[in-house]
């Protein structure tokens, strides 16, 4: 292909891109809009909270085979310096998105070309199953090609190290630097054959590596046995409806439910099989408004109404829960699900184990978890957002039992054998809680109300300000307002403290601000680590104040949350 009319950076990229589709897309884009094509080469995807995640397409700012190969070569360079063995074992999993299998094969090839051992899953697999296998197989690292709950056009590259947890500083910075070095050498290399690996291009290959098939079916069985073993004793009689959200969790969840002794769950048939187009939910995030509408419709049309709806996101690491209410269905908030799980598991822990219990949660999760932990004689540990932090006490606190960890974005770790979000095992435990409530003549909402009556009412909500559609100047202006957000009052209540998280007083420095008000309300503002949006987390509480009418107190809390949302949004957006 003659590319001499292209700028040098684009020519070099095309010489090294083994994918004819992205080559064609880049040439077509340059012919239509040269400036836009060259903008794809202004920097590269940052290696951050979730590894890599971006829209698929050509250039270093997109997810593609060149970026995947370069990232893997950089990781292997870092691993060889860190590991005792010159032949690191890397587990490679992938979801059912477009190009996931191809990207995973490229990862495995890079591992083998560098002299390592690549264990490549033979079928699309849920992310928590890969996380579980990382520890079970004692792998030096694991990579999952997934974009989790992002739109269909995206893909990503998620990394676990040998402790089974996502990486934290300084490892993330070190690996990012190694990737940048590899990428620079690779793109500056001479006339490389287009389908040669990155490691060979920069002269770092070590002969003797292998690629072995790793059975997704066997791994799923092993994880399922672990998930079932997480449960306690008691009735399993509860009717459930499950949605896989067009992802890879369906068979794993249904089989685990049956093996655990629950009635076979009904399923949202249109969303059960993997489909990379996500035809019924273009933004397949169960947090998003409308994402569960098809599940609600399926439940309403069923001959017998299910008692609880369970839904995973496409890679099955998150769990959404919905319950019937007087006027339809209500999705429980991530905090409500976290509280139900924590109360259930803490009660069981207190009955069976003399070691101190620990629950971990992100700083944007409800403070109710602190009260609940103290109520059960356990310790509550607050962390930065992201399960690379929430799971960290599993290894940092060997003196204690890690009972569970959660973050309000529907992520729950209910068994430390998976040191990340696990929407499959969490679904089993939620079904167990629903069955227990059913046996007691309660609903899940009743159980939440009981806890509020015992310990106090905490109500939370969240609002996001998307900025992907904004121009560069508008994005910068919003970022600056977030960075200095320090109001004197919000919705008529004085602010008593402001903590800028970048100052790193209690946690490693990160973007965001915590604002506490005189009435014990709290507002947290932070940029998302995986999406172009600013997230605003709101919490109001009755605190120690006694109340006699819970329904009235809930209404007050609802109104107060709405007032805070309006005040904060007005301050940031105008």
Q: Could you report the per-residue pLDDT of 70-90, keeping only the tens digit for each?
A: 999 999 999 988 877 778 999
Question: For residue 352, is pLDDT > 70?
Answer: no
Instruction: Tell me the pLDDT tens digit for each residue of 280-293.
Output: 998 899 998 899 99
Give me the chain's average pLDDT, please.
Answer: 91
Among the residues of 205-333, which ranges form H helices?
216-229, 250-260, 293-301
pLDDT of amino acid 472: 72
Mind listing the pLDDT tens digit for each residue in 466-498? 877 777 777 778 888 888 999 999 999 999 999
- Using 50, 70 and 90 to split pLDDT, how confident is the model at 1? very low
- Tell me the pLDDT tens digit for each residue of 257-312: 999 999 999 999 999 999 999 999 988 999 988 999 999 999 999 999 999 999 99
Summarize pLDDT for 195-222 with one digit per residue, the tens.
455 555 454 556 678 999 999 999 999 9
Q: What is the pLDDT of residue 256?
A: 98
Residue 464 or 144, more confident: 144
The catalytic site residues sit at: 148
What pLDDT, on a 0 to 100 scale, did the predictor assign at position 202?
A: 52
C-alpha distance from residue 253 to each of 223, 240, 423, 426, 562 (Å): 11, 12, 9, 10, 36
Question: Percent of the chain at pLDDT above 70?
Answer: 94
Q: How far is CA 256 from the centre of its chain?
A: 22
CA angle 64, 142, 19 (to 5 degrees): 20
Which pLDDT belongs to residue 574? 67
Sorting pLDDT into bands at 50, 70 and 90, what band is 4?
low
Q: State which H helix or E strand residue 112 sits in.
A: helix 100-113
More confident residue, 566 or 465: 566
- Domains along the chain? 8-214 (3.40.120.10), 217-455 (3.40.120.10), 459-573 (3.30.310.50)
Residues in the chain: 574
Helix (H) or strand (E) run with residue 350 in it: helix 334-352
Contact predicate 501/526, CB 8 Å? yes
Which residues are CB-contacts of 56 (< 8 A; sequence separation ≥ 6)? 62, 63, 64, 98, 99, 153, 154, 155
User: Is the distance from CB of 539 to CB of 526 less than 8 angstroms?
Assistant: no
- 118-126 average pLDDT score: 98
CB 390 within 8 A of CB 413: yes
Residue 325, pLDDT > 90, answer yes
Per-residue pLDDT averaged across 327-343, rounded? 97
Full DSSP string of 524-551: EEEE-SSSSEEEEEEEEE-TT---S-HH
Mean pLDDT score, 341-358: 88
What pLDDT, on the 0 to 100 scale, is given for residue 129?
A: 98
């Amino acid at each position: 292909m003659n590319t001499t009319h292209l700028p040098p950076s684009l020519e070099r990229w095309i010489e090294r891109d083994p994918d004819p589709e992205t080559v064609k897309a880049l040439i077509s884009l340059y012919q239509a809009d040269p400036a836009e094509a060259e903008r794809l080469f202004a920097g590269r995807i940052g290696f951050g909270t979730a590894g890599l995640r971006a829209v698929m397409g050509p250039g270093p700012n997109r997810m593609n085979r060149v970026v995947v190969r370069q990232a893997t070569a950089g990781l292997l360079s870092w691993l060889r310096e860190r590991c005792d063995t010159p032949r690191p074992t890397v587990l490679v999993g992938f979801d059912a998105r477009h190009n996931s299998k191809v990207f995973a094969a490229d990862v495995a090839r890079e591992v083998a070309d560098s002299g390592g051992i690549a264990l490549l899953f033979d079928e699309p697999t849920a992310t928590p199953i890969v996380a579980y296998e990382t520890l079970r197989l004692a792998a030096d690292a694991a990579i999952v090609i997934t974009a989790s709950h992002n739109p269909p056009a995206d893909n990503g590259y998620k990394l676990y190290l040998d402790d089974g947890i996502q990486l934290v500083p300084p490892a993330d910075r070190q690996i990012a630097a190694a990737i940048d070095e590899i990428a620079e050498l690779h793109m500056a290399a001479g006339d490389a054959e287009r389908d040669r690996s990155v490691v060979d291009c920069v002269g770092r290959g070590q002969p003797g590596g292998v690629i072995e098939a790793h059975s997704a079916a066997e791994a799923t069985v092993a994880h399922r046995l672990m998930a079932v073993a997480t449960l306690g004793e008691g009735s399993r009689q509860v009717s459930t409806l499950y949605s896989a959200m067009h992802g890879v969790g369906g068979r794993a969840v249904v089989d685990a439910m049956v093996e655990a002794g629950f009635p076979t769950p009904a399923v949202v048939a249109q969303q059960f099989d993997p489909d990379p187009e996500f035809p019924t939910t273009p933004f397949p995030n169960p947090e998003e408004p409308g994402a569960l509408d098809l599940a609600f419709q399926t439940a309403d049309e069923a001959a017998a109404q299910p008692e609880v709806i369970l839904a995973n996101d496409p890679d099955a690491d998150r769990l959404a829960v919905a319950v019937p209410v007087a006027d339809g269905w209500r999705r429980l908030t991530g905090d409500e699900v976290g509280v139900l799980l924590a109360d259930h598991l803490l009660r069981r822990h207190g009955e069976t184990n003399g070691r101190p219990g620990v629950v971990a949660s992100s700083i944007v999760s409800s403070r109710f978890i602190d009260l609940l932990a103290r109520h059960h004689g356990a310790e509550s540990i607050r962390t930065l957002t992201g399960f690379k932090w929430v799971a960290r006490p599993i290894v940092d606190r060997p003196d204690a039992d890690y009972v569970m960890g959660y973050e309000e974005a529907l992520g729950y770790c209910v068994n430390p054998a998976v040191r990340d979000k696990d929407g499959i095992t969490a679904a089993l435990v939620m079904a167990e809680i629903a069955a227990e409530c059913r046996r007691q003549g309660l609903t899940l909402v009743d159980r939440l109300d009981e806890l509020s009556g015992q310990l106090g009412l905490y109500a939370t909500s969240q609002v996001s300000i998307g900025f992907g559609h904004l121009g560069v100047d508008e994005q910068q202006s919003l970022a600056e307002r977030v960075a200095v957000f320090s109001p004197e009052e919000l919705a008529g209540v004085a602010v008593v403290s402001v903590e800028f998280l970048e100052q790193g007083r209690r946690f490693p420095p990160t973007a965001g601000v915590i604002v506490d008000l005189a009435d014990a309300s709290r507002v947290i503002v932070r940029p998302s680590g995986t999406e172009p949006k600013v997230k605003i987390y709101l919490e109001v509480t009755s605190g120690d104040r006694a109340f006699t009418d819970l329904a009235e107190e809930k209404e007050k809390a609802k109104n107060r949350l709405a007032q805070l949302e309006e005040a904060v949004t007005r301050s940031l957006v105008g």
